[in-house]
Amino acid sequence: MEEKQQPTGGPHFVGKKEELIEAKRSFRTLEGRDILIIHHQGVFYAVDSYCYHAGGELQNGDIEEIDGKLCIICPKHKYKISLAKGEGIYKGTNPREKPPVPRWYSKGVKQRTHTVTETNGDVYVKLSTETCWIDSDFYQGEKGKVERAKA
């Protein structure tokens, strides 16, 4: 891939739109962070590459619509993560409900997502600048790398 000037902290060039569409899923390391870029049903998404639960490789996960949200299913233990926001999605029941009906719930944001933009056929990813801890951050650090290697 042709190397382009990468402004520090700014949007990073990650490839030509056509290449990324054809690849469907592309792995990139930006500022030391491993990112998965997904093209699905005409939309680009960028998420941390390793699952927040135990570092599973999301690159190989299926994508399904769950409760109106497109989710990637981690191949390791089948956790569901919304592509747009990185929410952990799970099915549960409310025991106070009689009879309890299983429904989909959100655990909140668990997987860091990043912003994808496109200009004249070039695609860029701007890393999330959200300063609070998001669970998937663990598998981007040194300790997380060790854990992933053990699994």
Strand order in the sheet with 43-48: 12-16, 122-126, 113-119, 43-48, 33-40, 25-30
Among 16, 33, 40, 76, binds ligand FES (CB under 6 A): 76
Is 74 one of the binding residues for ligand FES (CB under 6 A)?
yes
Is 36 one of the binding residues for ligand FES (CB under 6 A)?
no
Is 53 one of the binding residues for ligand FES (CB under 6 A)?
yes
Is 134 one of the binding residues for ligand FES (CB under 6 A)?
no
Is 47 one of the binding residues for ligand FES (CB under 6 A)?
no
Q: What single letter denotes the amino acid at residue 72?
A: I
Stretch that binds ligand FES, among 24-32, 69-77, 87-95, 96-104 (CB under 6 A): 69-77
Which regions of 17-144 does DSSP assign to beta strands (E)?
A: 25-30, 33-40, 43-48, 62-66, 69-73, 80-82, 87-92, 103-109, 113-119, 122-126
Is 89 one of the binding residues for ligand FES (CB under 6 A)?
no
Neighbours of 104 (CB within 10 A): 14
Round to whole Å and give the CA distance between 140 and 149.
12
Is 112 one of the binding residues for ligand FES (CB under 6 A)?
no
Give the interface with ligand FES as residue ranges (CB under 6 A). 51, 53-56, 74, 76-77, 79
